[in-house]
Structure 1
Amino acid sequence: MAESDLQQEAREVSSLNVRTEDPAPETGHRPPAVPGSVSDRSDRPAPVTNVGRDRMGVIGEGLKSVTGWCLRLLIVAAALWVLWWVLEKIWFGVLPILLALIVTTVLSPVVGWMRRRGMPSAVATLVTLVVSIAAVLGVFVALAPSVIEQSQEIFSQANEGVGTVRDWISGPPLNLDNAQVDEYLNTAIEWLRDQSAVAAGAVASGLGAVGSALVTLALVLVLTFFFLKDGPAFLPWVRRTTGRSVGRHLTESLTRVWNTLGGFIRTQAIVSAVDAVLIGAGLLLLGVPLALTLAVLTFVGGFIPIVGAVVAGGIAVLVALVSQGFTTAVWVLVLVLAVQQIEGNVLQPALQGRSMKMHPGIILLAVAGGSTLFGIIGAFLAVPVAASVVVLLRYLSEQVDLRTGDIGAKDLALATPEGLVAAAHGEHAGVLARQAEDAPAPRQAPERLGFWAWLVGRR
């Protein structure tokens, strides 16, 4: 009995040594557990914070990812800056190429039509260029006499228009006295004199610019001839030079850019021609001077979306105000607004596909940036360049979607057989990558990666 009592007492002491009292429970907190302890309390709160991986480990991984992407973006920004610096240095050599490409997109259908009917490529190109140059020169020669004659009439009527505006300002609702009006007019005249002096200096120093423009025009004509004549051999040369994989992607992406650029220019030409005809006919009916010249200006301005139409319409209203008076100017304003509404709501949606549309905000930013950096030439080239960049970004997005498995090659509207092969390869590469991710990875010693391997995202 004594031995049994001693054993029972030893077991009770051992149980007391192992069992410990838990501290006061705190909501959402797991008290630290003592190794080897046992708790029989059933009212312990369920842990809700930091019960899985350590928080700082997760935060560290996020910071590592952010740091890697920041470094990558800095490298890309540096590369773009270098590209921009090089472009500024060789801009006068790049400009003729861009202009020649735009002219080529307009004339290439005509040359292709002649070539398909058996005409040699060089002859078809030469005939197309000669006829096009003759048409442009004919328009300017036909308009020159009316511009010279009617501009003198407009200048003679300008004083009367200024007097009419002065009388309107002096009356209600502005009710400015003559002294204030004279002060404002004198300020405006002084500003015009200053600008005239600046313009005279620019003209005096601009003879070299005129010579440069003539050289650029000659280069554009020569490059356009060779682009039209040898254009079909360009993509095969690209594939031979860059190899199969890169050549397929370049063939598909450059073909899409070419189709988009050509469609955009031809569509803008049709829309601008319709605007010019409607506005020119309206100006003729209203008896506004320089109606044909303003119509040609409307046609040219149509190639600078939004901004060009506003400027051309403003000039037409100003000419009507100076030459015909306030009432005619109002009618011209109504005419311009009506034509622009027809263009924006009928012509553009009917002639342009969805793939060629860009948000008006992108167009305005492109025109503003191009005009600020390169003047009127930059405003003219801004939208075609922006449209080409948008096409390339869409192609890159498609390649990413093929590799993620979100789309298949059959879901794409491809422009070339090479693009179909490239899309099939991209889809297959995505399938292999997903299979590799799903397969259990074999156990291996951890690899020590260098800085550059970590930077490009290797794991």
Structure 2
Amino acid sequence: MTLQRQISFWLVALAAFIAFLYIFSPILLPFVAGMALAYLLDPVADRLEKLGFGRLAATVTILVLFVIVFVLALILILPILGGQLTGFIANLPGLIGKLQHILTELIGDRLPSVTGVSVKDLQANLGNILGQGASWLGGLLRSLWSGGQAILSIVSLFIVTPVVAFYLLLDWDRMIANIDAWLPRDHRETICKLAGEMNLAVAGFVRGQVSVCLILGTFYAVGLALVGLNFGLLIGLGAGVISFIPYVGATVGLVVSLGVAVVQFWPDWHWILAVLVVFGIGQFLEGNVLQPRLVGRSVGLHPVWLMFALFAFGYLFGFVGLLIAVPAAAMVGVLARFSLARYLASRLYTGTEPRIDGANDA
């Protein structure tokens, strides 16, 4: 009965937490963002404390520097990105039409002999596919831009989020100690072990992946801008940001930049090849340098599970869901591995009946 009560308690607590997220998700963004910011910056505060800073001085120093860098980045980069995004959306129908024309010229003469499909059918099919893709991409970009403007509102960005991050970062160690004091003594060791594994998975992935995204976004943006690709800064930074989802960022960035490069540079294939080289180098750096050094191989988050968590939480809770998807996926993964280990060590798996010699020889 004790085990049943414990299971019932945790199931009720989980249901209440999900209901809380669902009901209050429209107003949770600055608080979740502040919590995420405090979690990301806590190791920096601990390191400053080891250098002789008090917790208050370390917290104030970190947040002031962060706000200054963030505001400068917004002032310097946001107008450029806004202009490129507006231009990209405005030129998207023309880009699609030119890309369709080039593809038809390249493969139109060979297609009937190979597949039996006429050039007119090819143009119609390409027009439908590219038109639908352009419509979807344009709508997505507009929604992201309008959502970004809502997210970056004055209240949530410059007031609530920094204040929440300040108090959480200031009291982080005290909160951890209080939570530890509330744990049931009989299960404290197990809970602390699981919490440590969750923290290792979340910290290893989130902190490392944020660094990877920033480095890749900067590399792609600079590389595409040096190549001279139209909207290169927007495409490069966008590819870096969505590199948080494994394989998706590089794939989307490569497809979009190749389409723009073909329209812009054709028939000068050297510059199209240069775009491929930029993404090839980026993928080599990500797979062989950045991921092993910054993220590690043992964070316990499978790419498929991560993508499912991001889509599921984003669908259920919007942008707030995207912020909590990775920590939630890491926690569920740790609990699933713990449950599996308990199951494999239990009699339910091993059985209680003695093995009969020769039973498998029949």
TM-score (norm 1): 0.57
Structure 1 contact 96–216 (Cα < 8 Å) conserved:
yes
1:278 corresponding residue in structure 2: 219
2:244 to 303, 307, 329: 303
Structure 1 contact 170–178 (Cα < 8 Å) conserved:
no
2:302 corresponding residue in structure 1: 359
Structure 1 contact 257–391 (Cα < 8 Å) conserved:
yes
What is the deviation of 1:188? 4.1
1:337 & 1:248 partners in 2: Cα distance?
46
1:253 & 1:168 partners in 2: Cα distance?
56
2:299 & 2:223 partners in 1: Cα distance?
30
Greater Rg, structure 1 or structure 2? 1
Per the alignment, do residues 379 and 315 of structure 1 end up closer, same or farther by CA in structure 2, a change over 3 Å counting? farther
What is the deviation of 1:129? 1.0
2:19 & 2:85 partners in 1: Cα distance?
43
Per the alignment, do residues 258 and 100 of structure 1 end up closer, same or farther by CA in structure 2, a change over 3 Å counting? farther
Per the alignment, do residues 380 and 148 of structure 1 end up closer, same or farther by CA in structure 2, a change over 3 Å counting? closer
The yes-or-no answer on 1:258 pairing with 2:199 is yes
1:116 & 1:231 partners in 2: Cα distance?
16
Structure 1 contact 301–312 (Cα < 8 Å) conserved:
no
1:378 to 321, 344, 357: 321
What is the deviation of 1:114? 1.7
Matches within 5 A, 1:58-457: 83-92=17-26, 95-147=29-81, 161-171=95-105, 172=108, 173=110, 175-177=118-120, 184=127, 188=131, 192=135, 210=150, 215-217=155-157, 218-325=159-266, 327=269, 328-329=271-272, 331-395=274-338
Higher helix fraction: Structure 1 or Structure 2?
Answer: 2
CA RMSD of aligned residues (A): 4.4
2:338 & 2:236 partners in 1: Cα distance?
38
**More divergent stretch after superposition (323-332 vs 276-285):** 323-332
Identity %: 24
What is the deviation of 1:231? 0.8
What is the deviation of 1:180? 6.1
The C-alpha deviation readout for 1:248-290, integer Å capped at 9, x for no partner, is 4444433332333222122113322342343234313311134
**SS of structure 1 residue aligned to 2:175:** helix
Structure 2 contact 214–240 (Cα < 8 Å) conserved:
yes
What is the deviation of 1:128? 0.6
Structure 2 contact 213–240 (Cα < 8 Å) conserved:
yes
**SS of structure 2 residue aligned to 1:288:** coil
Per the alignment, do residues 400 and 231 of structure 1 end up closer, same or farther by CA in structure 2, a change over 3 Å counting? farther
TM-score (norm 2): 0.69
Amino acid at match of 2:313: G
Per the alignment, do residues 350 and 300 of structure 1 end up closer, same or farther by CA in structure 2, a change over 3 Å counting? same
**SS of structure 2 residue aligned to 1:119:** coil
Structure 2: give runs of 5+ residues left out of the alignment. 1-5, 112-117, 348-362
Structure 1: give runs of 5+ residues left out of the alignment. 1-71, 405-459
The C-alpha deviation readout for 1:222-244, integer Å capped at 9, x for no partner, is 22112211111123212333353
Per the alignment, do residues 268 and 140 of structure 1 end up closer, same or farther by CA in structure 2, a change over 3 Å counting? same
What is the deviation of 1:133? 1.8
What is the deviation of 1:377? 4.6
The C-alpha deviation readout for 1:270-326, integer Å capped at 9, x for no partner, is 322342343234313311134344333233223233334433444433443444447
Structure 1 contact 370–379 (Cα < 8 Å) conserved:
yes
Per the alignment, do residues 264 and 360 of structure 1 end up closer, same or farther by CA in structure 2, a change over 3 Å counting? closer
The C-alpha deviation readout for 1:69-100, integer Å capped at 9, x for no partner, is xxx99999888556533431233465544433
The number of residue pairs the alignment matches comes to: 325
Amino acid at match of 1:115: E
2:344 & 2:92 partners in 1: Cα distance?
62
What is the deviation of 1:121? 1.2
